[in-house]
Chain A
Amino acid sequence: MNNVIQNILVFSALAIAIVFLVKKFLWKKSKSKKACGNDDCGCH
């Protein structure tokens, strides 16, 4: 039982880590269509 829980925890941590890195480096938020210089244009 202990082994099962520990395995679940390990694979959950692994999934969270992968999702975090993918979101951080590969999946980018779409930029605002406002011109640069406006507030919240996504450029600052």
Chain B
Amino acid sequence: MSKQINVALIGNPNTGKTSVFNALTGLNQKVGNYPGITVEKKEGICKLPRGVKAHIIDLPGTYSLNASSLDENVVIELLLNKNDKDFPDVAVVVSDVENLKRNLLLFTQIKDLEIPTILVINMADRMEYKGISLDIPYLEEQLNTKIALVSTRRKQGINELKQLITNFKEVSQEPCLNASQVDKDYFEGLRKAFPNQLLYKLWLVITQDVNFGKIDRNEVEALDDFKTKSKADLKRLQQKETIKRYQFINNVLKVGQTIDSSKAKDLRTKLDRILTHKVWGYLIFFMILLVIFQAIYDWSSVPMDFIDSTFASLSEWSKNKLPAGVFTNLLTEGIIPGLGGIVIFIPQIAFLFLFISVLEESGYMSRVVFLMDRIMRRFGLSGKSVVPLISGTACAIPAVMATRNIESWKERLITILVTPFTTCSARLPVYLIIISLVIPEGRFLGLGYQALTLMLLYLIGFGAAVVSAYILNKVLKIRSKSFFVVEMPNYKLPLFKNVGLTVLEKTKSFVFGAGKIILAISIILWFLASYGPGDNFNKAEEIITNEYASQQLSEEELQQHIASFKLEHSFIGITGRAIEPVIRPLGYDWKIGIAIVSSFAAREVFVGTLATIYSVGNDDEATIKNRMAAEVNPILGGPLFNFASGISLLLFYAFAMQCMSTLAIVKRETNSWKWPLLQLVFMSSLAYIVALIAYQFLK
């Protein structure tokens, strides 16, 4: 009768364990269920040299012996129960050559159960593509095992594996890691209480939530002369054990495994080598940004013009069709222009998120995170800070919340404080309208000046965040440790559905989130601009008619003067005049001042406010842009929105903390008013100073 040995095939999911099982057993296999549960049990027979037969069980994939599912329990139950008829004479741990570090955790745990364990390093054919080389004798020595380098795809290494299984008695049963290193006193107590049991086996019984075989955890807990630890303490020891194991694995692989990415040949590696290159990587990222911003301008000009003229016509049509009166005025001069001021930016916002979503879906964004980590480190930020800074291009609120995964409090706090500098979508309407007014439409090397300006503003926002982080890193005296781990997904073609849903969701939240606030503020602003105290407002017609009686003004010109006079003496005009001395050095008039104050609620309100203010008393069919372009500087003459005041305004919005919601979320995340107030004062002061310097220098 030929001899039969039990072999357990164990490994992490996706290591090609089933391929190894198939290669060993061929057609001699059957599939059933483990008793009482629905976990699949695969077993088969493999003929080995010298007439030996192996009964092979393909155990469910597991990451470690710390069971978290029914499948994983099956593995541990079998390995701990020597009386089970399937208890292995030899364990074969299958690992993937590309994820050796992660796979070896399970290997070291099984070794510590003192079962003869063979290590299969599968997918060896990928080594050449990935630039991986292994020092097998060194690894065998350090891991105290025999290694089979296998490629089931190329049918290599299977005979060597069969040979190793046949000679399993030659495989060392010595553990890799002495578990008692984790807590010597505790393990010593355990050893004394159960002198006949294997220490690591006892440790597994204590730390798992189930009983295994003949060892009952209640038995351990009931002992008088051994006090086990609380669940929390045991969890901490488990974590310590995992860290010890990884330290051991790292030291072994440092010598036994070499990864030379310059020799790698697969497409992903080739792309990674270019996209994360220390020169080409940044250049490509910069070029991609250029293309995105150019496309935002070129592709959205037609729908934007259409929306702009539609709202202007709707306002005019409503004025003609509805009965004359104050509510009609509110609709045509307040609500419709205010809403038009936000709807017009839908095409550009949709295109921006279309590109961001495509970059995320394709896997490129992770490379950007990796690429930028090199820069981030120098400024006291974590590589993980890049995610909030990039998602800050949508909105600072979710971006601030996204800092929760940064382990170091100091890095997290700095990221929270500097994220609002990133150009959020609410700044976009302000930038777009001002750029279209003050930056010429010419091109340089095929790229529009306006697109270049927009890109520059994004870079300024990012630069301000990074420089502020550097200063905060030097100033804040908080001690903390940091590390950076990022998983690079494979490159893939973006799914149209995912991209479409992201664009739809982001655009919807921008329009409806901001839209309600803008509508409410438009109504209040219209009211403040259409009502006023005292005789100057109530008798405006009489005053202006008398003042211009000697001049030959047309009816239209006279109405313009009356509207202008009324606006100046309305509630909003009085408020604007009060703050004008503060903002005049920046090149702004009181109307812009009103827009700045009202946009403290949310930046995008700026355009809606100007649209409302400039619409009041204006009867002609004109777009928001035309009305703003026609504004005259009351002091210097000439257009109010000229190059100097425009740049000053752009810079003011690039740096100012104009968002109440962001301040509220910073308060919540830092659990203190100290940080949001500091942020408000710092950002507002910086914005004022930079805008002042820009205007005074350029005027």
Interface residues of chain A, those whose CB is within 8 Å of chain B, are: 2-3, 5-7, 9-10, 13-14, 16-18, 20-21, 24-25, 43
Contacts and interface: CB of A to CB of B under 8 A. Distances in A.
B659 to A, nearest CB: 11
A6 to B, nearest CB: 4
Given A6-B326, A6-B327, A14 B516 contact: no
Contact of B527 (A9, A10, A43): A10
A9 B325 CA distance: 11
A25 B601 contact: yes
Contact of A21 (B327, B328, B521): B521
Contacts of B264: none
Contact of A3 (B325, B516, B523, B601): B325
Contacts of A24: 517, 520
A43 B401 CA distance: 10
B139 interface: no
B260 to A, nearest CB: 44
A6 B325 contact: yes
A16 B323 CA distance: 23
Contact of B520 (A3, A9, A17): A17
A13 B523 contact: yes
A17 B601 contact: no
Interface in B661-693: 668
B624 interface: no
Contacts of B660: 25
B323 A18 contact: no
- Provide the main secondary structure of the chain B interface: helix
Nearest to A19: B520
Interface residues of B, number: 17
A2 B324 CA distance: 9
A18 B517 CA distance: 10
Q: Which of A3, A9, A13, A24 counts the most chain B CB atoms within 10 A?
A: A13
A9 B322 CA distance: 14
B344 interface: no
Interface string B630-671: 000000000000000000000000000000100000001000
Contacts of A13: 327, 330, 523
19 contacts: A2-B325, A3-B325, A3-B326, A6-B328, A10-B326, A13-B327, A13-B330, A13-B523, A16-B520, A17-B521, A17-B523, A17-B524, A18-B520, A18-B524, A20-B520, A21-B517, A21-B520, A21-B521, A21-B524
Contact of B330 (A5, A10, A16, A18): A10
Interface string B75-118: 00000000000000000000000000000000000000000000
Interface of B: 323, 325-328, 330, 516-517, 519-521, 523-524, 527, 601, 660, 668
- Provide the main secondary structure of the chain A interface: helix
Nearest to A43: B668
A3 B612 CA distance: 22
A29 to B, nearest CB: 12
A42 to B, nearest CB: 10
Contacts of B668: 43
Given A10-B330, A24-B520, 16 more contacts: A2-B323, A3-B325, A6-B326, A6-B327, A7-B327, A9-B327, A10-B326, A10-B327, A10-B527, A14-B523, A14-B524, A16-B520, A17-B523, A18-B520, A24-B517, A43-B668
Top-5 shortest CB links A-B? A6-B325, A6-B327, A17-B520, A17-B523, A9-B327
Contacts of A21: 517, 520-521, 524, 601
A15 to B, nearest CB: 10
Nearest to A20: B520
A31 to B, nearest CB: 9
B326 A7 contact: yes
Contacts of A7: 326-327
Contacts of A16: 520, 523
A38 B668 CA distance: 16
Contacts of B516: 20
Contacts of B326: 3, 6-7, 10
A24 B520 CA distance: 11
B519 A17 contact: yes
Contacts of B524: 14, 17-18, 21
Nearest to B522: A17
A7 B520 CA distance: 17
Nearest to A8: B327
A20 to B, nearest CB: 5
Nearest to A42: B668
A3 B190 CA distance: 91
Nearest to B524: A17
Contacts of B517: 21, 24
Contacts of A25: 601, 660
A3 B660 CA distance: 37
Contacts of B521: 17, 21
A17 B601 CA distance: 14
A33 to B, nearest CB: 16
B531 to A, nearest CB: 9
Contacts of A14: 523-524, 527
